[in-house]
Amino acid sequence: MKKILFAASEGVPFIKTGGLADVIGSLPKCIDKRYFDVRVVMPKYACMKQEMKDKMQYVTHFYMDFNYKSEYVGVMKAEVAGITFYFIDNEFYFNGGRPYSDDGLWEITKFAFFCKALLSILPTVDFRPDLIHCHDWQTGLVPVYLKERFQGGEFYRGIKTVMTIHNLKFQGKWDVKTVKHITGLPDYFFTPDKLECYKDANMLKGGLVYADAITTVSATYAEEIKTDFYGEGLNGLLCARSGSLRGIVNGIDYDEYNPETDRFLPYQYNAINFRKEKIKNKRALQKELGLEEDDRKFMIGVVSRLTDQKGFDLVAYMMDELCRDAIQLVVLGTGEEQYENMFRHYDWKYAGKVSANIYYSEEMSHKIYAGCDAFLMPSLFEPCGLSQLIALHYGTVPIVRETGGLRDTVEPYNEYESTGTGFSFSNYNAHEMLSTIRYAERIYYDKRREWNKIIDRAMAKDFSWHVSAEKYQEMYDWLIG
């Protein structure tokens, strides 16, 4: 039995701010229990829901040297869906109303503590992993500390590490002198071939240098991050380590995202009866949001953080022109003020045609995935993207830009061969986006049978976690031997 420990800053069902939490909640459940014992470790945040804290049991506590002080390290554990979760408890570091703050130095201090504590608790919980699977910059110091001070001990010798990049934009950077002081790491580690990066210390870079393997969340993104444009300053290192780098696309939890059993939908449907049943969700959504109630209107959905990364500058540029078409646009999400206000403005200007829902609601997101005809994701970059996977499963045809995971998961429609599961455009260009949306409109209005065949193919795709889990298992086997 090979032992794997997932290390992450968040995970469903305990705490969630983004897609990382879904990965941590879903992937371990799908790894084959006959060959792997997979457990998870994360911080115990004060802001976790009480019902989640009630599931935890106290295991032990001890004191650890950190940042020139002796710090309390409490260990709790809980079991959910057959997976053991460990929690590192320290009220000084993990207090506050949300898991992350806007104070960069505090975040670096907090997660440096987490990385060191994570390795320190292992002998006390009687679990020696063969491999620690680290996720994003918050766990970047785990491979570093493992090499620096833990590897000498008999217990830790030979433990392998994997570093997964969910979004390369976030790296955990601060000045070298401060990070050296906080982490207690010697000068040796702060050179350009290790943690130092453009005069700063960089926690993610440390993880990428010292991990035995590196993964990211789609094959195309694994190639993109070796270039200047997508590499966020680390492309040189990622090219140097390209032999250890692979892309494995994320999955989605088909228990949670399934139009046949979805508790949030007024009308459930499946791949067989969608022609009759899906439209009922569209009518219900039009009614609920005060849009013109018209079965024939081409309804486009957006569920997203409203940021530059997601391509909303392209949308802003084309909104007036797009709204001249026979379409409806439903937007759900929060983000940068300029985009929140832009969508509010068009909601006012084109009442009955545009619905701007500037908040987040799990229930409303499911209704949009089910009720719309198409789903728009014109991202500048997208490491994996989960929304297009959900849209495919709900038979809501994705319109995407060919980048990262969007390129790997949405096959562009080819009307001559009658293939494809969505529509895509390659250049980051507002006119190209608009002409792709209009091409989709044309197929929807003029070639309805073709449109339904696109939905057939989309709903037949399997982007469940089981497919991705097999690829992770192959990598674990290769590393552990």
- Nearest Cα neighbor of 7 from 151, 158, 113, 163 is 163
C-alpha 119/C-alpha 142 separation (Å) is 7
Strands 69-80 and 83-89: what pairing?
Answer: antiparallel
Non-local CB neighbours of 333 within 8 Å, separated by 6+ positions: 302, 303, 304, 305, 306, 357, 358, 360
Q: Digits of tens for pLDDT over the chain (481 positions)? A: 999 999 999 999 999 988 899 999 999 999 999 999 999 999 999 999 999 999 999 999 999 999 999 999 999 999 999 999 999 999 999 998 999 999 999 999 999 999 999 999 999 999 999 999 999 999 999 999 999 888 778 899 999 999 999 999 999 999 999 999 999 999 999 999 999 999 999 999 999 999 999 999 999 999 999 999 999 999 999 999 999 999 999 999 898 899 999 999 999 999 999 999 999 999 999 999 999 999 999 999 999 999 999 999 999 999 999 999 999 999 999 999 999 999 999 999 999 999 999 999 999 999 999 999 999 999 999 999 999 999 999 999 999 999 999 999 999 999 999 999 999 999 999 999 999 999 999 999 999 999 999 999 999 999 999 999 999 999 999 999 8
C-alpha 459/C-alpha 277 separation (Å) is 14
Q: Domains of the chain by range and CATH?
A: 2-251+466-480 (3.40.50.2000), 274-462 (3.40.50.2000)
C-alpha 297/C-alpha 445 separation (Å) is 9
C-alpha 385/C-alpha 408 separation (Å) is 10
Helices (H) and strands (E) in the chain, counts: 17, 18
Dihedral pair phi/psi, residue 46, rounded to 5°: -60, -25
C-alpha 54/C-alpha 57 separation (Å) is 8
pTM: 0.92
- Cα angle for residues 388, 391, 392 (degrees, 5° grid): 90
What is the model's pLDDT at position 17? 87
Report which secondary-structure segment, H or E, holds 449.
Answer: helix 448-460
Torsion of CA 380, 381, 385, 391, to 10 degrees: 30
β partners of residue 294 = none
Number of other residues whose CB lies within 10 A of the CB of residue 480: 17
Q: Which three-class secondary structure string do you get for 176-228?
A: HHHHHHHHCCCHHHCCCCCCEECCEEEHHHHHHHHCCEEEECCHHHHHHCCCC
- Nearest Cα neighbor of 355 from 291, 295, 400 is 291
187 HSE (CA, 13 A, CB side): 0
